[in-house]
Every structure is written in C-alpha cells, then in structure tokens.
C-alpha cells in the first residue's frame, strides 16, 4: 500500500485542491429538516443525526476534495452511540474515496501510546477505527511519538503532530524562547527529523505538522525548516485565516499542505454568505457552494492553484 | 455537590491510602480462565472480557482505595465495543463508591475543548461518560484549558494537567529551559494560578497536575511551587518509582497526592511476586495482595501513613 502522504499528494492532484473538510457536528447547528421529530435529549437520536449529517456532507464533497477530518470530541460527547457514529462516518468517507484524518490530538507514554496508535491508524483494515491519519500532541516528548511513528510506517498511515496551533493561547507555551528559538521550533525540529528519517525516498515522510492559518509568518518559516513534513493547516475560514494567509504553507509544486475548513462549510446553511440563498432546507446545496468558494479561493491565492 | 478535590481528600482519609488503581486492560495479559472459549479476534468478545476483568478488579479494590483510573487508549483500541465497555466500567466503579479519573490526555481549542469537557466531566449524571475527573494535555495553551476548567467548576469535577510526565522522553520538551526555568515550571505556574483562582475556600482547587514518580526531585520542587494543586503521580511500581520516591508529593497532612499503579496490581497474577502464590485461577486474590502491599508501602514510606 502506498504511503499516506503520497496518497494524499495523489488525492490533492486528482481533485486539484488542498481543501480538507472538517466534520465537527454540533446538534444545535444541524439543519432543522434533517433531524426533526426525534428526542433531542437522547444521545442515540443525536448520534443518528450526526451520521446522517456527516454522510450527507460526504455525498456532496466526496468527489471534490481529497480528505475529511472528523473531530473526535463531538462524537465522544455522545458517549458510545457517538463512537458508533464516528466509526460509520470514517468507513462511509473511505468508501466515497476520501482520505480520513482523525482529529483526536492523542498521546500517552510507551505502550499506552501504542494502544492509541493501534486503535486509530490502519488503512489496511486492521485497526478498530481504520483512519488514514491521526493528529497527535507532542508534550510527552520523543519516546511518546515513537509508537505512533512505528504504527504509521507499519500501516502506511500518517500523523500530524501539533507544532503551532491556530488559537490565540497557542502562544502561551509554544512561543516561549529556548536558546533563541521558540518552543514550536524545537517541536518542529523533532517532527522534521523523524519524518525525514522515514521518508523512504518519497518527498514527504509519514509525520506531518499542524500549523495554524492564523500565523502566516510562522507558516513560511516552518515550510523552510520542515522540507519533509506535510502541513495540516487549521484556522482557515471561521477562525479568520484567509487563502492568502496559508499560501506560504505550500511547496513550489503546490503540494505539502492541506487546509482545513469546518464550520464555514458544514454549517454554511447558517452562515451569512449562504443562509439567504439556500436556507436549512437546501443545506447540502449550501455545503456545495461553500466548498466551491473555498476551493476557488485556495486556487486563486495559493500555489495549489497550479494543480487545477 | 462537593468539589472533586474535596471528595478525593475525603476518600483518601476514609480508605487511609492515596493509591489509585489504573485500569489498563490488555487482552494478551488477561487471566486465562476469565476469557477462555471466545473468539480472540472479535472486538466485541475482547470488550466483554475487559468489562468482566475491570468489574472483577473493582469488586476487589472498591472498599480499599479511593479511586480508579481507566486508560481510554485500551478501550478505544476495541472500537465502539470498547467504548461501550468503558462506559460500563465507569458506572460500575462509581456505584462501588470509587471516584473515577478518566485518563484520556485530551485537549483541543475553544469550542472543541468544550466538546471534550462536556463529554467526559459530569459527576452530576449530565455528561455522556460521567467521569469525576479527566487528564488534560497543556501544549495548546491557556485558552485551551479554560473550557475544561469551566466544565470542572460547573460539574464539581476535577482535572489533572500534564506537567512532568514519568517517561524518559518527558525530558525532550518539558525540561527545556526558558528564562532560567524548565518548561514544566511554566506549565506548573499556569496550573497553580488557575487552581488557586477556583479553589473557593478549599485547600485545593479543581485543577490538579500529573507529575511522575520517576522524578522525585521535581515532585518536591513542584509540591512547594503548587500549594493549591493536587498531584496525580504515575510511574509507581512497574515504571520503577518507589513509595519513598513519591513521599515528597504529599502535604504535611498526608494529602495532596494520589499515586497510580496499573500493571503491578491488575496483572499481579503474571508478576514475579504473586504468580506462584496465586496464578491465573486466583487472579483476584493476586490483585488483593498486590493492592495491600502497595497500600502498605505507601503507608510506611510517605506522609500518607498518617491517615491510617
């Protein structure tokens, strides 16, 4: 099986866009027609709505974007029923030809990290959840990443390690200066070294980095510092990052980064730009329009435009 | 409802021990008699075994220790069936009178962090999983902790933020020096400030810290620096930390810390000290003996001995 980052590059070339759609379902923002009549207090009911909603989004974007990013938190919030919905959504997305980056920001030490890695990573059908890639937190250090890297190599899967996150508080620790370099650069150096070590002749190794769209200068700096590291860029759209802000995340070919949009696409029917045009009844048309607009923006204002 | 850390102090006083038993089920180490005859490749079968195994441990330790710490990774590794087992185990432990610290090392930004907090924290029966406390990772910074703190205050629940972890690689980033202080001291300062702010007249606030037993000097240093912060101390037993190593984690009353042991207790039937005496058939007697020994060690060599 092809390495994840190579599959991702293929998918970006095929679709002509680096847009990844975040699946962050929230019950109170679902389109009303989709979930009427059920018991809003029942987690099983909510979980069924999440499945229907996410499948509906996948039906719209399945041929348009390379990947989706389900956010574990919102499914976990519904207990075991939510986790069953998450498993369904991952499988449905993959059957639609999409790569699935599970956003769980997991980590732990030693054999426990191996537990998470075995749980989530497995494009070969040999893990419980079978995601193509997983987001991972770095605070526990180098030996905590090893089991994830081993599992990624074994299953041809990918990782995205938090380096510079898109939230304002990302500065609290990530920007503290150590020997003339902020902490995120020290994390970046580890990620790049491990990814380069396992690149196996490909342009990008199995370990990617999460770098927020809200910090364009750092995107540019990190792109230079991490030539073997694919970026997952959150913060585009609802969090304020523009397509121009993320332009520096790409390599000269227009590869090397995927740019996430969640709320701006999946809840487009509620958004100022689309609500009047489509409304809740035509929520899938709103998703299609918001996706097309994001694809166009990224094509116009970033090197990914070369791929179209 | 009483604040979590006050409930924890009560439970430590009542049982006379700071020992928390880690529930880290691994299929290949389960006592053979407990799970014979099923299909080892079936996640549903494995999940049923985890439920039986964890309930069996809770039956043994329920009146002996204040709390248990289920490790989310091992349940996640079994997919939705594992998550159903986890929910069962949390409820069973609480009905046995135990406090439940869910070890998930979760975090994310803003409203997604709120998703995790709402999912896991809720001693009042109003969350999906209803754990009494949750472990949280700090890399995303101050604003990522806020939704967890808000949820902890709202639900009288607790948090334990990773400060100084027990693994060798914990040094990679946590020990980097910033303005004369290692990174973990900067994280500690934030945790202590937030916990003190929400202590509401109690000795300890709702935000605790994870500090490894394998770093005794740092335990002492952090106990001084974090007077409003209860410690969760992993690394005792199988990871090499002794009772003497964790003595500095406690306050003068013998409170302020819980000390975790996982493998050394739950898989005692496989361990050198108990295998011959009990074997797999009497695995629950091995759990009872290992628990009693750990309680005795912590009583003899730490200030928690005053509580007995």
Of B110 and A256, the one with more pLDDT: A256
Of A43, A86, A178, the CB nearest to B178: A178
Establish if A50 touches chain B: CB-CB under 8 angstroms.
no
Q: How big is the CA angle at A58 (ends A266 and A115), to the nearest 5 degrees?
A: 95
Question: Would you call B120 and A178 a contact, using CB atoms and an 8 Å cutoff?
Answer: no
Binary contact (A170, B141; C-beta < 8 A): yes
What distance in Å separates the CA atoms of residue A285 and residue A137, rounded to the nearest whole number? 36
CA distance linking residue A30 with residue A254, whole number of Å: 34
- CB–CB of A259/A301 below 8 Å? no
Chain A nearest CA to B307, separation (Å): 32
Buried b (16+ CB within 10 A) or exposed e, B13-52: eebbbbbbbbbbbbbeebbeeebeeeeeeebbbbbbbbbe
> Mind spelling out the 3-state secondary structure of chain A?
CCCHHHHHHHHHHHHCCCEEEEECCCHHHCCHHHCCCCCCCCHHHHHHHHHHHHHHHHHHHCCCCCEEEEEHHHHHCCHHHHHHHHHHHHHHHHHCCCEEEEEEEECCCHHHHHHHHHHHECCCCCCCCCECEEEECCCCCHHHHHHHHHHHHHHCCEEEEEEECCCHHHHHHHCCEECCEEHHHHHHHHHHHHHHHCCCCCCCCCEEEEECCCCHHHHHHHHHHCCCCCEEECCECCCCECHHHHHHHCCCCCCCEEEEECHHHHCHHHCCCCHHHHCHHHHHHHHHHHHHHHHHHHHHHCHHHHHC
pTM of the model: 0.97
Gap between the Cα atoms of A229 and A194, Å rounded: 9
Chain B residue with the nearest C-alpha to that of A113: B73
Query: Looking at residue A255, what is its pLDDT?
Result: 98
pLDDT tens digits along B159-200: 999 999 999 999 999 999 999 999 999 999 999 999 999 999
Does A174 sit within 8 Å of B108, measured CB to CB? no
Marked catalytic residue, from A2, A69, A105, A126: A105
Residues of A in contact with B82 (CB under 8 A): 128
Contact B143 A178 (CB under 8 A): no
Q: Which two tokens stand for residue A109?
A: 């030490």
d(CA B162, CA B169): 13
Which pLDDT score is estimated for A1?
87
pLDDT at A285 over 70: yes
**Which residues, at least 6 apart from B107, have a Cβ–Cβ distance to it below 8 Å?**
A105, A137, B113, B116, B136, B137, B138, B139, B140, B144, B145, B148
Cβ atoms of B258 and B17 within 8 Å: the answer is no
How high is the pLDDT of residue B7? 97
Portion 90-109 of B in contact with A at CB < 8 A: 103, 105-109
The minimal CB distance from A176 to the residues B76, B116, B178 is found for B178
Q: What is the pLDDT of residues A142-176, one digit of tens each?
A: 999 999 999 999 999 999 999 999 999 999 999 99
How far is B51 from A214, CA to CA, in rounded Å?
44
- How far apart CA A31 and CA A52 sit, in angstroms, is 11
Rounded Cα gap, residues A257 and A99, in angstroms: 14
- Under the banding of pLDDT at 50, 70 and 90, the label for residue A122 is confident
Interchain contact, A190 vs B172, CB within 8 Å: yes
Q: Is B105 one of the annotated active-site residues of the chain?
A: yes
What does the pLDDT read at residue B35? 86
Can you tell me the distance from the alpha carbon of A49 to that of A27, in angstroms, rounded to the nearest whole number?
8
Q: What is the pLDDT of residues B224-234, one digit of tens each?
A: 999 999 999 99
CA distance, residue B14 to nearest chain A CA (Å): 31
Residue A41 contacts B, CB cutoff 8 Å: no
Q: Kindly determine whether residue A109 and residue B140, on different chains, have CB atoms separated by under 8 Å.
A: no
pLDDT of residue B124: 67
Q: Tokens 């999983």 sit at which residue?
A: B129
Of A128, A139, A178, the CB nearest to B82: A128
pLDDT in tens, B63-80: 999 999 999 999 999 999
- Interatomic CA distance for residues A134 and A120, integer angstroms: 7
């Amino acid at each position: 099986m092809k390495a994840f980052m190579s599959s991702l590059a293929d998918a970006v070339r095929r679709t002509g866009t680096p847009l990844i759609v975040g699946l962050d379902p929230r019950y109170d923002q679902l389109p009303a027609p989709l979930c009427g009549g059920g018991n809003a207090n029942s987690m099983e009911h909510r979980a069924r709505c999440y499945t229907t909603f996410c499948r509906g989004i996948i039906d719209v974007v399945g041929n348009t974007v390379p990947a989706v990013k389900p956010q574990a938190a919102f499914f976990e919030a519904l207990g075991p029923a939510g986790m069953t919905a998450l498993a369904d959504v991952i499988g449905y997305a993959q059957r639609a030809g999409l790569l699935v980056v599970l956003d769980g920001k997991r980590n732990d030490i030693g054999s426990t990290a191996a537990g998470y890695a075995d749980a989530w990573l497995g494009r070969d059908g040999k893990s419980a959840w079978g995601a193509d890639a997983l987001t991972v937190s770095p605070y526990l250090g180098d030996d905590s990443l090893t089991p994830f890297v081993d599992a990624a190599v074994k299953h041809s899967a990918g990782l995205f390690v938090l380096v510079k996150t898109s939230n304002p508080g990302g500065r609290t620790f990530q920007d503290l200066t150590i020997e003339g370099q902020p902490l995120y650069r020290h994390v970046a150096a580890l990620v790049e070294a491990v990814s380069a070590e396992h690149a196996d002749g490909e342009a990008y190794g199995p370990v990617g980095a999460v770098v927020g769209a809200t910090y364009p200068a750092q995107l540019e700096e990190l792109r230079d510092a991490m030539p073997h590291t694919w970026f997952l860029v959150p913060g585009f759209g609802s969090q304020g990052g523009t397509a121009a802000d993320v332009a520096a995340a790409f390599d000269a070919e227009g590869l090397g980064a995927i740019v996430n949009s969640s709320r701006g696409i999946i809840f487009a029917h509620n958004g100022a730009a689309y609500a009047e045009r489509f409304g809740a009844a035509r929520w899938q048309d709103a998703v299609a329009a918001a996706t097309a607009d994001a694809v166009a923006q990224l094509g116009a204002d970033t090197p990914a435009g070369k791929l179209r």
